[in-house]
Amino acid sequence: MEGAPKRVVLHVDIDYFYAQVEERENPSLKDKPVVVCVYSGRTEDSGAVSTANYIARKLGVKSGMPITLAKKILKENKDAYFVGMRKEYYETVSDAIMEILRGFADMFQQVSIDEAFLDVTQKIQGDFEKATDYANRIKQEVRSKERLTCSVGVGPNKLIAKMASDIKKPYGLTVVAPENVQSFLNPMSVGKLFLVGPKTEEKLNEIGVKTIGELSEVKVERLVDDFGERFGEYLYRASRGIDNVPVLEKEITQISRIATLKKNTRNVEEILPLVNSLADDVHRKSLVERKDFKSISIIAIMEDLSIHTRTKTLKVTTDSLEIIKNSARELFESFLNESQNVSVRRVGVKVSGFEAKTGQTSLIDSAKG
């Protein structure tokens, strides 16, 4: 593309983060299965696995599974070590690592407790030949200063860097120069494309698309018909490795959308279709930004132009579209019940109270239709 500056973007993700911190604190754990647990406190073993080291994963333990199941899987293993999550401590470790990473970047964006994007274009003069050495220096610096390993992906943009960091783990490095982007993507299954979840994957498989290369051969019109304008166009671009989103220093603190109703009304059924489509937009944006949210708000601007907001705050963060829609409906219903006899003119939906996403589990499956 003419004039588009050539960029070099790194994505750094710490390997089995919480469990690796536990290993660091307690070297006797090194060769044992380590499972970090979030105990809910209801019964001794109720709760979920936060993460596990690779030894435990090989045996079948996964993030999110019930602790009781993990214990069953490791029942025969006398060495298995279960430890309660120490989030605040991991946060301080994270801060120290982010500080190191920031020093290597022209522009820096932390996206979760254990991952960040670094725009290093100036640092290495846009030269991909220098990228391998530079990324290795970063890995070594984190290892020597913090005694933790991370994996790094390098690409011409965030999309490719993010996908590349996941290829070799732990302590991996994958560099994808611009001329190799399409051959990097082509053989991968479409499910590996960022933001393609199981449902989208299934829909694509149904039209005969199994790999990202095959996806890149589908006409954009077809994708827009099947998946809606935004997501259809995203798939078209992403399958070609195109992503122009800059590495942003500033973290956003909320995502909102507002629109005007076709006619002023106090009837919730007339309001909901627009609210739901705003919820779709807000949700998609939260996935793209990799933000989990805790609060859902509605905004109502009345015919007298007075502005009202109502907020619902959850106990835990979520990325659920369902929850946005249900909360927005609830909030509008109770707002309309308590408000004066004035009609609504504009409506808005907002999510806030972010915690950056930790896993790679954010999947768009709510495409149009």
Joined together, the tokens standing for residue 303 give 């015919």
* C-beta closer to Ca ion: residue 169 or 329: 169
Examine residue 23 and tell whether it contacts Ca ion (CB under 5 A): no
**Nearer to ligand DCP by C-beta: 22 or 226?**
22
Q: Are 269 and 313 in contact (CB under 8 A)?
A: no
Query: Residue 51 binds which entry of Ca ion, ligand DCP, none, with Cβ cut-offs from 5 to 8 Å by kind?
Result: ligand DCP
Query: If contact means CB under 5 to 8 A according to the sort of partner, which of ligand DCP, Ca ion, none does residue 273 touch?
Result: none
Pick from 23, 115, 226, 280: which binds Ca ion (CB under 5 A)? Answer: 115
Distance CA 345, CA 266 (A): 9
Q: How far apart are CA 112 and CA 87, in angstroms?
A: 13
Judged by CB under 5 A, the stretch of 80-88, 111-119, 163-171, 183-191 that binds Ca ion is 111-119
Which positions lie near ligand DCP, rule CB under 6 A?
13-18, 50-51, 63-64, 113-114, 169, 358-360
The nearer residue to Ca ion, 11 or 257, going by C-beta atoms, is 11
Using the 8-state DSSP alphabet, how is residue 128 labeled?
G
Strands (DSSP E) contained in the chain are 9-14, 34-39, 47-52, 81-84, 107-112, 115-119, 150-155, 173-175, 254-265, 291-302, 307-318, 344-352, 355-356
Q: Which DSSP state fits 5?
A: P
Contact assessment for residue 67 and residue 113, using Cβ atoms and an 8 Å cutoff: no
Six-digit token string for 30: 């090194």
Query: Residue 18's binding partner, choosing from Ca ion, ligand DCP, none, with beta-carbon cut-off 5 to 8 A by kind?
Result: ligand DCP
Q: Nearer Cβ to Ca ion, position 53 or 327? A: 53
Question: Is 115 an annotated catalytic residue?
Answer: yes
In the numeric block, which tokens belong to residue 143?
């290892």
| Residues ≥6 apart with Cβ < 8 Å to 186 | 211, 212, 213, 216
Does 243 help bind Ca ion (rule: CB under 5 A)?
A: no
Nearer to ligand DCP, 35 or 275 (CB): 35
Residue 367 in tokens: 């495409």
Angle, CA 194 vertex, CA 6 and CA 146 arms, to 5°: 75
Marked catalytic residue, from 23, 115, 146, 201? 115
What phi and psi values does residue 58 have, to the nearest 5 degrees? Answer: -60, -30
> Which residue, 63 or 182, is less far from Ca ion as judged by CB?
63
**319 binds, options Ca ion, ligand DCP, none, Cβ within 5 to 8 A by partner type:** none
Shortest gap between Cβ of 120 and ligand DCP (angstroms)? Answer: 21
Q: Among ligand DCP, Ca ion, none, what binds residue 362 when CB lies within 5 to 8 Å by partner kind?
A: none
How far is the C-alpha of 263 from the C-alpha of 273, rounded, in Å? 13
Smallest separation, CB 113 to ligand DCP (Å): 6
* DSSP calls for 245-269: ----SSPP-EEEEEEEEEEEE--HH
Q: Which does 146 bind (CB under 5 to 8 A by kind): Ca ion, ligand DCP, none?
A: none
Stretch that binds Ca ion, among 8-16, 124-132, 263-271, 330-338 (CB under 5 A): 8-16
Give the residue numbers marked as catalytic. 115
Interface contacts to Ca ion, rule CB under 5 A: 13-14, 17, 114-115
